[in-house]
Structure 1
Amino acid sequence: MATLIDNYEQQYAVLTADVTAKISRISALTGGDKRVFSQDVDRQLEEAQELLEQMELEVRGTSGSQRERLKSRVESHRAELNRLSQEFQLAKKPKEDVTDVSLDDNWDGGVTEDQRKRLLDTSERIDRTGRTLQNGYRLVLETEEIGSQVLKDLHDQRETIQRSRGRLRETDAELGRGSRLLSSMIFRSIQQRLILVAVAVILVIVGCIVIYYSFTSRS
């Protein structure tokens, strides 16, 4: 519950900060520009009012000391919104119509010391949230850079593997050709040996025949 209210407060703080910046510019504008800024601020004030209503609904769902603490925070936000609405109404008036009815420097708009402290605490939380978001964004950029480098390394490794695979296929083809050539050489060697053996056998047989006939003719 408190986390949801914190989220509403962060949205509210962003809205009111933008409204404050625009109000400071409206009084110096004229014509169409002033009308456009005024319409934009009207819309943002309505959004801020809706956020306060959402916060009040969430506060009703709490109890005990937490409810009182959250209620005080919402009341301080509402006092701040009322002050911004009054400043906006003054800023919308033509310069010649603006008199000394502007807010006095000592006007506190009904904001108590505790409410001011709550506003300061909320502002500090928003600053811390902003710094956390910046750190997170920087971390995302660093992670993206690391991821890009990893992808580049993987791409280079893939090319290296593909080149190695190509060389392996070429080596395998060369081994296949060498194996076939070696088999052919072994077959020819065996064939030649068989021929030599056959010739030797024939020569032995012929020699035996010659010797046989030579003995036969003498006898």
Structure 2
Amino acid sequence: MATLVDNYEQQYAVLTADITAKISRIAIVNGSEKRGLIQDVDRQVEEAQELLEQMELEVRGMSGTARDRLRGRVESHRAELKRLTQEFQSAKRSKDDGNEEGLDESWDTSITIDQRRRLLDNSDRVERTGRNIQNGYRMILETEEIGSQVLKDLHDQRETIQRTRGRLRETDAELGRGSRLLSGMIFRALQQRIALAMVALVLIIAACFVIYYSFKSKG
């Protein structure tokens, strides 16, 4: 959620920097260009207010020190937007009053210098925000590259495991055939031993009969 608030703050910083730049131009242009700038700033001020409302909604869903810290930042942004709105109204009035009543040139110059200073400050902030966005994008690309490599490694490991599993199945099948073959050989060996035992028994019995009848005939 804090990341979402950070994204809102980045959008807000870019938006207020553009508003500041346009306010400084409103005081020095006329006609349709001025009307176009005024319409743009009106729309952008509304967008900035909507961003602040979104930030406030996100902050309300938080708890602990993070909520207090972000709430202070949102209040600071709202105070900044209020100041920009006042400058915007002043810029709209200053040009009209200057055309009708002829405002003092040094006063206009001081306003322009102050606006330029704020514009430079906001430009620096936008530049820092841009660098942060670029760094974040680079980190995302690096993370994506690492993730792709991890997925590739996992895919290779999966293929290795599948090949090993296939070899294990083949080994099990060979062991099964060998076991059946060995069981058959043992069974045949037992059959042969039984047959030999029976033959030996028959021979012993026959010998006993021969000996018996031999002694009987002598007696």
Give 1:52 shift.
2.6
| Normalised TM-score (structure 2) | 0.61
2: CA distance between counterparts of 1:67 and 1:16?
15
| Aligned position for 2:175 | 175
- 5 Å-filtered alignment, 1:63-212, equals 70-76=81-87, 111=111, 115-212=115-212
Cα distance per residue 1:3-50 (max 9 Å; x no partner): 8687434124358879xxxxxxxxxxxxxxxxxxx99x9878633331
Please point out which of 29, 39, 43 is paired with 1:50: 43
Give 1:217 shift.
1.1
| Aligned position for 2:12 | 8
CA distance 1:9–1:143, change in 2 (3 Å): closer
Give 1:161 shift.
0.9
| Aligned position for 1:24 | none
Name structure 2 gaps, 5 residues minimum.
23-31, 53-74, 96-105
CA distance 1:129–1:77, change in 2 (3 Å): farther
2:17/2:126 contact within 8 Å kept: yes
Cα distance per residue 1:172-209 (max 9 Å; x no partner): 10011011001101101111111111111111101100
2: CA distance between counterparts of 1:129 and 1:172?
63
Name structure 1 gaps, 5 residues minimum.
19-37, 59-63, 86-105
2: CA distance between counterparts of 1:77 and 1:53?
13
Q: Which segment is superposed worse, 6-15 or 115-124?
A: 6-15
Give 1:128 shift.
1.3
1:10/1:126 contact within 8 Å kept: yes
| Normalised TM-score (structure 1) | 0.61
1:5/1:55 contact within 8 Å kept: no
Secondary structure of the equivalent of 1:13? helix
Aligned-pair RMSD on alpha carbons?
4.4
CA distance 1:66–1:14, change in 2 (3 Å): closer
CA distance 1:140–1:56, change in 2 (3 Å): closer
CA distance 1:78–1:135, change in 2 (3 Å): farther
- Percent sequence identity over aligned pairs: 54
2: CA distance between counterparts of 1:187 and 1:132?
80
Secondary structure of the equivalent of 1:172? helix
Secondary structure of the equivalent of 2:111? coil
**Alignment of 1:213 onto 2:206:** no
Secondary structure of the equivalent of 1:194? helix
- In the alignment of these two chains, the number of paired residues is 174
Give 1:121 shift.
2.7
2: CA distance between counterparts of 1:141 and 1:65?
33
Give 1:112 shift.
6.2
- Structure in which a larger fraction of residues adopt helix: 2
